[in-house]
């Protein structure tokens, strides 16, 4: 999708077009696959927290406080692929 197309969607509040773009990215052009990939990443993010292990929450809060929103958004996309890879089920042709 062109940037114009996406920015028009933002202007119009057309979130369906935006989330479709994300699903297509995560699913390598297959929207349904992308939807499953998003679910997979969240499941993988949930698993390590079930036993409530100690986490570096100070780091998390400091990062959220100090970093700009674009960097955090970029990190969010990185985290998606991190957890997908961690799941051991890799649908992509190539690698990160």
Partner 1 sequence: MTENSDDITELRPGLWDTVNDRYPGSMITKADLIPLAKAAKPLSASRLTFVSTSGVQRRGTMPFDTVHPVGDYTFRRVPSDSKPGDLEIHQLKYPTVGAKRDLNVIFPIERLRDLVNEGFIGGLTDNFYTFIGYNMDAERLERTLAEDIAAAVEAEKPDVVLLAPA
CA distance 40 to 94: 18
CA angle centred on 88, ends 80 and 55, rounded to 5° = 55
| 86 forms part of the interface with partner 1 (CB under 8 A) | no
**How many residues contact partner 1, by CB under 8 A?**
22
Binding range to partner 1, per CB under 8 A, among 36-44, 49-57, 58-66, 71-79: 71-79
| 93 forms part of the interface with partner 1 (CB under 8 A) | yes
To the nearest whole angstrom, how small is the minimum distance from the Cβ of residue 74 to partner 1? 7
| 67 forms part of the interface with partner 1 (CB under 8 A) | no
Handedness of CA 44, 50, 52, 58 (dihedral sign): positive
Token pair, residue 6, equals 């996406």
| 33 forms part of the interface with partner 1 (CB under 8 A) | no
């Amino acid at each position: 999708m062109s940037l114009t197309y996406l920015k028009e969607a933002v202007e119009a509040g057309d979130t369906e077009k935006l989330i479709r773009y994300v699903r297509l990215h995560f699913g390598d052009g297959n929207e349904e696959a992308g939807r499953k990939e998003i679910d997979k990443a969240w499941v993988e993010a949930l698993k390590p927290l079930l036993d409530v292990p100690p986490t570096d929450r100070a780091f998390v809060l400091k990062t959220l406080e100090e970093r700009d929103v674009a960097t955090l958004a970029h990190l969010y996309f990185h985290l998606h692929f991190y957890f997908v890879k961690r799941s051991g089920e890799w649908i992509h042709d190539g690698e990160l």
